[in-house]
Structure 1
Amino acid sequence: MIPLLLVLLLALILFGAGFALKALWWVAVIVVVLWLLGFVVRPAGHDGRKGRWYRW
């Protein structure tokens, strides 16, 4: 009975890790798309040129 429970626990852990990694990939894709859109949709600066969309 214990080996069966260990196998089921391992399957559950691997399934959870796979779901988490897939979710992290989607988050990474969304962040990259937003980052690239930031280069396209930049507000104009004080002198009329395109300014920086980030603060640093």
Structure 2
Amino acid sequence: MSLALAEPRVLSDATEVLANVAAYAHRPTLIHLARLVALTAAKTTPAQRRTAQIGGAA
């Protein structure tokens, strides 16, 4: 396998987490991060849940 086709470690780790979600259920932040990595690798923009507050609290 050439280096150009090598899969980045972060993507393989994310794939491992997403393939075994039940094993990582006690780490919801890790599952969320793995989903973001997978979406980014698929060249998809993740949906934003919250909008940033500009100018501080009102």
Verify same fold: TM over 0.5: no
TM-score calculated relative to the size of structure 2? 0.30
Q: Which has the higher helix share?
A: 1
* Structure with more relative contact order (C-alpha pairs < 8 Å, separation 6 or more): 2
Larger radius of gyration: 1
